[in-house]
Amino acid sequence: KYTMVTCTAPVNIAVIKYWGKRDEDLILPVNSSLSVTLHQDQLKTTTTVACCRDFVEDRLWLNGKEEDINQPRLQSCLREIRRLARKRRSDKDSTVDVSGLSYKVHICSNNNFPTAAGLASSAAGYACLVYTLARLFGVEGELSCVARQGSGSACRSMYGGFVQWKMGEREDGKDSLADQVEPETHWPELRVLVLVVSAERKPVGSTSGMQTSVETSSLLKYRADSVVPGRMDEMTSAIRRKDFAAFAELTMKDSNQFHATCLDTYPPIFYLNDVSRRVINLVHRYNRHYGETRVAYTFDAGPNAVIYTLQDHVSEFVQVVCHFFPMESNRGKFLQGLPVASTT
Ligand code: DP6
């Protein structure tokens, strides 16, 4: 007899970036961050977890391929959820069905977008894993703390809408949690476009990249201590007011400072490429043309541009992108997959 649960979790795109850890094992950040969670039906991970008394070991399949289950972060999440489930059993006793608590699990997880292309696949992946395991084992309550231990940015995908990850101060990380700033219904006109510049695996992963940045970049320290705290407040206020120009400018500046921190890392880390830089210039020229900030870009640990804009400007901006990056001449050169994945 199987028990099986399937859930989906969406990608989130940070507008104030998380970069750098103060604790590598617990995944505690050097600064708070803020992101927008995309809608469930677009860029997402779908995870099925089955448990059965006949399973002899925990196993994991990612996008159809079996992977090593003994990855430390995966093990942390499994261990934490099982611990919470056991705790719940001892708290509530007979009300929870925990017959399968000691059973092994088979986990099957699929992304509907390129993995490791700097599109926050680990965020959706770990958020989904933790949520699905929790459902299977009947664990409720605050779970961002568990998702965080899979991948830092994953804690923000546990909520929809506009989400902040408060860095916290405690050494045990109990106050390093995500919470919702505004729900997904708050700003219905806001749109996200993902310009897929490359679907290839990134050369320097975020985990090792931010480790080197913490060790070598003085800009990172300055950013964490003196820039991000103010920006978190300004960004929260811009979102509450639905002030697109303020939201957009902060988003672009924060992306730029994150990439400057990568450049300040020694040896330097380059995530942006020529196409990314052309997109940056295009956005600034577009905004200048209208004399107002209508479009913003942001880049994570990869060359793909994520564009924030408002509903009214989507179709025109997509046309402009298609004009300057025509599919014909670029196909196979730098556009792999869809050039513009529009998400509402
Ligand atoms: C650039 O969450 O992937 O996307 O905690 O080591 O798993 P780990 O790193 P990860 O880093 C994401 C970095 C970023 C910025 C962000 O999403 O805030």
Give yes or no for residue 146 CB within 6 A of ligand 1.
no
Q: How confident is the model at residue 344 (pLDDT cuts 50, 70, 90)?
A: very low
Determine the average pLDDT of the residues in 290-313. Answer: 96
The DSSP secondary-structure symbol of 224 reads I
Q: Which tens digits make up the pLDDT trace of 146-158?
A: 999 999 999 999 9
- Let me know: does 34 contact 236? Beta carbons within 8 Å: yes
Locate tokens 């006949």: which residue?
54
19-33, 92-106, 237-251, 252-266: least confidently modelled range: 92-106
Ligand 1 nearest atom to the CA of residue 122, by list position: 3
Q: How confident is the model at residue 80 (pLDDT cuts 50, 70, 90)?
A: very high
Q: How far is the CA of 35 from the centre of ligand 1 (A)?
A: 11
Tokens of 123: 């965020």
Give yes or no for residue 33 CB within 6 A of ligand 1.
yes
The DSSP secondary-structure symbol of 165 reads E
Strands (E), 116-260: 161-165, 178-182, 190-195
Give yes or no for residue 126 CB within 6 A of ligand 1.
no
CA 267 to chain centre: 25
Q: How far is the CA of 13 from the centre of ligand 1 (A)?
A: 10
- In this predicted structure, what is the pLDDT of residue 209? 97
Q: How confident is the model at residue 273 (pLDDT cuts 50, 70, 90)?
A: very high
- pLDDT of 323 over the 70 cut: yes
41-55, 58-72, 307-321, 330-344: least confidently modelled range: 330-344
Locate tokens 């209508």: which residue?
294
Determine the average pLDDT of the residues in 188-208. Answer: 86
Rounded percentage of the chain residues whose pLDDT exceeds 70? 89
- In this predicted structure, what is the pLDDT of residue 46? 95
Entry pTM: 0.93
- pLDDT of 335 over the 80 cut: no
pLDDT higher for 42 or 261? 261
Q: ipTM score here? A: 0.99
Determine the average pLDDT of the residues in 205-215. Answer: 96
Query: Distance between CA 241 and CA 238 in Å, rounded?
Result: 5
Q: Whose CA is nearest to atom 1 of ligand 1?
A: 300
Q: How far is the CA of 325 from the centre of ligand 1 (A)?
A: 28
**CA 163, 166, 172, 174 torsion: positive or negative?**
negative
The mean predicted confidence, pLDDT, of the chain is: 90
